[in-house]
Amino acid sequence: MRRGEQEGKEKMNEAEMAVMSGGVVNTAWSPVLVVLSYLIASLAAYTALDLAGRVVNSIGVARKVWLFGGAAAMGLGIWSMHFVGMMALSLNVNGEQVGMGYNLPVTVLSVLIAMGASAVALYTVSRESMGIKQLAIAGPIMGIAIAGMHYTGMAAMRMAVEINWNYAVVGLSVLIAIAASVVALFLAFRFGRTEGNLKFVLMGVAALVMGVAIVGMHYTGMAAASYAALDLARVMEGSHASHGSLGYGVGFATLLVLGFALVASTLDRRYAAQARALNARLAAQQRAQQVASQEG
């Protein structure tokens, strides 16, 4: 009797494996994480526009600090948006959530690619001039790097699911990344040399638009993928309960980092303005003393 039950279970497991192997995986999205990814994208865009101004208006060591520090903060923001966007996706087979893991070295590589793309962006907009030629070179480089970061991040995913790509949609996502990068570089160059309160209003509007472009690239890239289960025994392996919490943790930590970068930029801009005002007063006093000595 027990032998018959065991054989029955084995046959049932074999049947389940047959259903699962090569089966279509159902996808579901977390609306909260999708919205969080957009907020991160917009804040990262605003931070990039703001930090571009600090790089432009700094010299010497301060310029290098803002360039590399800004690239790190901006790159982390872009990468985090994509990571949170991936966390927003859950895969299910026959009602069971597919476990996910991540290859750490490949994940770190995707972060470094994002930071490298950000460094290219900040260096480009910090130059004295940026013509169509520079924009035509730097824009595609940055866009391809961002797309590379996205697909490297997806390659870091470890799960019992096969990813099949629609390469036409992949190409479209790369074009969106390039177009968004060209617009971002142009706006960062313009706003980096603009002063006044209107600058920050325009930066805010531009950041919201750029956020849509960045998110559009990401979810277009995600739409290029379709999934098929490979192994029933491995479907449940990986992260489950912590899947969403990991996205929230990374997302809110990134918001704090970007917020810190904006505070540092604001303080530096304020101190620079105070220094300019003090230098102007000292120069005026020196001129007044020179005039007084000449008249005396």
In this structure, what token pair is assigned to residue 81?
A: 């948006």
Residue 230 is assigned to a structural domain of this protein = yes
The answer to whether residue 6 scores a pLDDT higher than 60 is no
Question: Containing domain of residue 154, as a range?
Answer: 19-295
Q: What is the phi-psi region of residue 97: left when phi exceeds 0, alpha when psi lies from -120 to 50, beta otherwise? A: beta
Confirm whether 11 is domain-assigned.
no
Write out pLDDT tens, residues 148-188.
Answer: 999 998 888 888 788 889 999 999 999 998 998 888 888 77
Lowest-pLDDT range of 68-72, 136-140, 159-163 = 159-163
Segments of the chain assigned E as strands: 26-29, 89-93, 96-97, 101-102, 157-158, 161-165, 225-229
CB atoms within 10 A of CB 136: 11
pLDDT band at 101 (very low <50, low <70, confident <90, very high): confident
- pLDDT at residue 15 is higher than 50: no
d(CA 88, CA 47): 23
Count of residues making up the chain:
296
How many angstroms separate the CA atoms of 139 and 131, rounded? 12
pLDDT interval class at 37 (50, 70, 90)? very high
Q: Are 84 and 247 within 8 A, CB to CB?
A: yes
Cα torsion 273, 279, 281, 287: sign: negative
- Mean per-residue pLDDT for 18-27? 58
Q: What tokens appear for 25 in the block?
A: 């995986």
Domain membership flag for residue 9: no
pLDDT at 277 over 90: no
Write down the mean pLDDT value for the chain: 79
Residue 3 included in any domain: no
Is residue 263 situated within a structural domain? yes
How many domains does the chain divide into? Answer: 1
What is the mean predicted confidence (pLDDT) over 124-128? 77
Which helix (H) or strand (E) is 32 found in, with range? helix 31-56
Mean pLDDT of the region 114-140: 83
Q: How confident is the model at residue 18 (pLDDT cuts 50, 70, 90)?
A: very low
- Number of Cβ within 10 Å of residue 264's Cβ equals 16
HSE-CB for 281 with a 13 A CA cutoff: 5
